[in-house]
Amino acid sequence: MTGLLSVSFSDIFQSDFLNRITQFSVTDSAIALVLSFLIGLIIYFIYSRTFAGVVYSGSFNLSLIAMTMITTLVILGVTSNIVLSLGMVGALSIVRFRSAIKDPIDIVFIFWAISEGILCGAGLIPLALIGAPIIGVLLLVFTARKDYSAPYLLIVRFDDAKMDRKVEETAKKAVKRCRVKSKTLVGGSGMELILEVRPVKDDTDFVQKINAMEGVTYTSLVSYDGNYTP
């Protein structure tokens, strides 16, 4: 205890002290980076298997591997040098990320990659190896469960605006739930009707039935993720 108190703040920045604390194990660093790469591959595989968005981004998935390894590299450097850790805190405090996250599950994978990188860099290898498969299995299990009540947007255009009731009633008879999202007048008498529907076990045969109705000019059924803006 007395030896620790004898080291003043100015002694920390002396060259002999810096040379002593910057020593690190090349073997341990290499092991941590290799393990972070392997865990990053697990995250890469889980993301590709569980992706349920509209457009799959291979570059984002690849960045999860790089993010895991870079975080490990940063933690290895921070834990080996006090001066570097102080500078790293100041540098990271001014970093701002402007990329929009379209799917909330992407945030989960980002934090997962960063957490695994921190664990590998801090030397908590067993915790990193235990956590990666557990989280991966949970994501695979829950995303594999098909949600038969997933909502869709039914977009119907017809010539006579008075047909909205008829189209809505036809849709209600064929699905479990139907709700009007918007009604837009097109031209003088036409209308575009957007309905939020929940088909029974993904049965979409009612789309052909509505499209065959007299006066209907356009029918489309698209998946709905809750981000619709009328």
State the pLDDT at residue 4.
Answer: 47
Q: What is the mean pLDDT of each run of 10 residues along the chain (230 residues)?
A: 50 51 71 91 89 74 89 79 59 58 79 88 86 88 65 83 80 82 78 82 78 83 58
Max Cα-Cα span within the chain: 92
Q: What is the DSSP string of 68-127?
A: HHHHHHHHHHHHH-HHHHHHHHHHHTT--------SHHHHHHHHHHHHHHHHHHTT-HHH
132 SS3 class: helix
Question: Residue 149 has what DSSP assignment?
Answer: T
Please list the residues that pair with 194 across neighbouring strands. 155, 182
- Could you give the domains of the chain? 10-144 (no CATH), 152-223 (3.30.70.1710)
- d(C-alpha 139, C-alpha 44), whole Å: 13
Task: Give 120's contacts (C-beta < 8 A, 6+ positions apart).
Answer: 32, 33, 35, 36, 39, 68, 72, 75, 128
Q: Which two tokens stand for residue 151?
A: 């909502």
State the pLDDT at residue 160.
Answer: 77
Please give the model's pTM, rounded to 2 decimal places: 0.58
Which of 176, 173, 178 has its CA nearest to residue 154? 178
Beta carbons of 201 and 216 less than 8 angstroms apart: no
Question: Residue 212 has what DSSP assignment?
Answer: T
Beta carbons of 43 and 132 less than 8 angstroms apart: yes
Task: Give how far the C-alpha of residue 28 lies from the chain's centroid of Cα atoms, to the nearest Å.
Answer: 31
State the pLDDT at residue 73.
Answer: 84
Which of 120, 111, 106, 131 has its CA nearest to residue 47? 106
By CB neighbour count within 10 A (0-12 exposed, 13-18 middle, 19+ buried), where does 72 fall? Answer: buried
| Residue type present at position 26 | V
Beta carbons of 141 and 202 less than 8 angstroms apart: no
State the pLDDT at residue 5.
Answer: 47
Q: Which two tokens stand for residue 27?
A: 């073997």
